Amino acid sequence: MFRRLIVPTSRRPRLPVAAFSRTRPTYSTEEGRPSKEQINATAIQHQLSGHAETAFRTMARFGKAAVIASVLAGLTIFGSFEFAHQYVEHRSLRPEPDEGIKRFEWDVSDELYHGDPMVGGTDPGLGRGGRQAVRSAWMSQHWGVESPELGLSSIGSAVDAPILYAVAYLERALTLTENPDVHPLTRAELHNRAGSLLERLGNSRTADARAHFEQAWQGFSGEGLRAARVGLKLGDVSARMGRNGEALYWWKKSIQLCEGPTSSVGPLLEPEEVPTSPWAQRIIASALVSISAFYAQHGKLADAQKFEESSLSLLRSIPTPESISTASPPQALHALFLLQRSSLLSVHLAEVLHAQKQPVLASIQYLSLAASSSERVARALSDLPVQQGPGQLHETPIPQGEDQISPVYSASKTLSPVASRLYRDAKRTAAEAWNLLGILYEKHEGRSSKTALLCYERAIQWAGKKGEGDEGVSIANEAATEADWNVFYANFQRAKEASSQKNK
């Protein structure tokens, strides 16, 4: 019924040879099965190809992870770098908003990195590189940030390194101040900052500091209180370099700029009137201390005495708040600044009077005043009671370190550095005054003077270190150099031994 279809041989479809060879493997054995060697070779080939594929995939994943990690690390570093710079720009260098601080001119009398203190931050005219250099200088000084990119081969001590890095960054920024878009006074302010930092390093960098101050003076055109501040520093560094005539010239220029264009000074550079500007008052007070020390160090004792007496009268004529505790922080800090300068002048006057062989009690009077005033400054800055009753000076508490500075000062970016420096100066002056009082009481009452022993003990308490083997001396903080403290402690030990021998 069914008819078988027969396809002619010539019309049958033929598979390609290649396809046939893939679908029908050939074997070398007569039975049609692979040999054991061929099976092993095939297995090894498949295993090797699998390992290679796994290794390739692992390397690809590792490379991808490495790229992602590198990108993330780069973004983190860049983000941290940029965040730090923006923090300094908009937080640390922001213009001072407190009107009380502005009224007493603390906002313009300390650290500035911009020609216009009312703007704050860094000068946009410096460009990105210049602004980063200025901010890096601030970070080096305050955070101790160092950078090998500056190529400083010899930094010196670890204490000096932050200052030297800061100066190097400032000098880099100064190379970009020729841009016409830079504020006219920015260059002068950067020179003043560099000079002020180098001045801290002592005699080894005095010449470099002076060069920066000279550039700052030119930048300020010798006008205004900014120039007066620079003139005071030029006088100080010139005296340190032994250029006495130049020192007197610069101090005179500084005082004249503070008093006004029509003012004049006395033959010993005594100011004739007190300026109304708080900043000008502080500049003059500092100049008076420098000139006083200059006369005493050069043996002009009579001139020194006359100058110091008139200077103390001038500073006492400046109005002060009725109570430091009730005054505003900017006003209180201004009054404490002037009081500390009066303390230094009192120490100088006591030394000059003693050198002229005048009665010991006169020098004791001025040293007691200096010790009391400096202690008052330090206690006021650290929130300790300022006043003490009669005969209680030896019993009043001593601040125990810089962490005791009152939050009303430490919380202010403008007042904090000033308060810290004033605190250290007050402690150092108090220690020196007490030590000199001990020497004078020894001469006046004898080697076994109990008063002298109390004075020496008070001196090493304010100096801030405890002598080995002595359990009766408390620690304040490092306020004196090692050499000064050794002198104080040797005097204390001598007086203690003399007192012990007397009581035997």
pLDDT of the residue at 400: 72
Tell me what pLDDT residue 498 has.
87
| 217-234 confidence digits (pLDDT tens) | 999 999 999 999 999 999
pLDDT digits (tens, 9 = 90+) for 46-84: 555 555 556 556 666 666 666 666 655 555 554 665 778
* Pair 220, 230: CB distance under 8 Å: yes
Query: Rounded to an integer, what distance in angstroms lies between the CA atom of residue 270 and that of residue 259?
Result: 11
What mean pLDDT is predicted for residues 369-380? 94
- pLDDT of 110-120, one tens digit each? 889 999 988 88
pLDDT for the residue numbered 483:
85
Q: Under 8 Å CB-to-CB from 115, ≥6 apart: which residues?
A: 123, 182, 183, 184, 185, 186, 187, 188, 189
Write out the two tokens for 327. 């005054």
Q: What is the pLDDT of residues 10-36, one digit of tens each?
A: 455 554 544 444 444 444 444 556 665
Residue 238 has pLDDT above 90, yes or no: yes
Reported confidence tier of residue 431, pLDDT bands at 50, 70, 90: very high
Rounded to two decimals, the pTM is 0.82
- Measured between alpha carbons, how far is 400 from 482 in angstroms, rounded to an integer? 18
> Which residues neighbour 161 within 8 Å (Cβ) at sequence distance 6 or greater?
144, 146, 155
- Provide the pLDDT for residue 5: 44
374 touches 366 (CB < 8 A): no
| Site of tokens 């602004």 | 131
Backbone angles phi, psi at 265, to 5 degrees: -120, 160
Question: Any idea where the domains of the chain sit in the sequence?
Answer: 72-220, 222-318, 320-504
Share of the chain above pLDDT 90, in %: 58
Position 100 pLDDT exceeds 90: yes
3-state secondary structure 124-177: HHHHHHHHHHHHHHHHHHHHCCCCHHHCCCCCCCCCCHHHHHHHHHHHHHHCCC
* Distances 478 to 163, 401, 422, 482, 486 between C-alpha atoms, Å: 20, 8, 14, 9, 13
- What pLDDT is attached to residue 264? 81
Q: What is the pLDDT of residues 169-211, one digit of tens each?
A: 999 999 999 888 999 999 999 999 999 999 998 888 999 999 9
